[in-house]
Amino acid sequence: MTERVLEVRVGSGLDNLRFGMDEPQVRAELISYGDVVDATAPGGSLALRTQGLDDSFSICAAFKSDGALFTLEVWRPEDVNLIDVKLYDIPLFATPVERVLARISELGHRIDFDDRWHPVLPEASIGLDREGGDDCDDDGFARHFQSIFIAPCGYYFSPPRFR
């Protein structure tokens, strides 16, 4: 049994983290996952990430230039019994990639495989990362998703400069 499960809220966020929240609100939600540190790239908009609940687990929150939460990325912990992320009631980190993708397809969702390392659910504005990890298949793909990228509705349909 996983101790903590985060629910993807398609198009609007993750658990209590909602797109459009301001920095203090996001910090208040992130603190339960560890220390909140600044992860802003030089010249970029604000980005925060967690560190501490588990050294291998982190949530990164990226903001628009107006200070509103814009995207989230969650990295897989080494121990998925500690924390997992669910999408459509599917544990994304604990379930092997092929089973996750099959289940999502069964539910009628389109999966874009233009980048085989990073399949995308464009209508749900979710990106899945199968690059890296300790347990790869013969082609070098991770057997479990290594991170989950979550964005607002329409993210993959907007022009790149507005992302």
pLDDT tens for each residue of 12-66: 999 999 999 999 999 999 998 889 999 998 878 899 999 876 678 899 999 999 9
Question: Whole-model pTM?
Answer: 0.91
DSSP the chain: --SEEEEEETBTEETTEETT--HHHHHHHHGGGEEEEE-PPTTSPPEEEEEESSTT-EEEEEE-TTS-EEEEEEEPPS-TTTEEEEETTEETTTS-HHHHHHHHHHTT---B-SSTTS-EEGGGTEEEE-B--SSB-TTSBBSS-SEEEE-BTTGGGS-GGG-
Q: What is the pLDDT of residue 68?
A: 96
The model's pLDDT over 63-117, given as tens digits with 9 standing for 90+, comes to 999 999 999 999 999 888 888 999 999 999 999 999 999 999 999 999 999 999 9
Pairing verdict, β 90-91 and 120-121:
unpaired
Q: What is the pLDDT of residue 163?
A: 47
The model's pLDDT over 114-148, given as tens digits with 9 standing for 90+, comes to 999 999 999 999 999 999 877 888 888 999 999 99
Q: What is the pLDDT of residue 1?
A: 66
- Reported confidence tier of residue 149, pLDDT bands at 50, 70, 90: very high
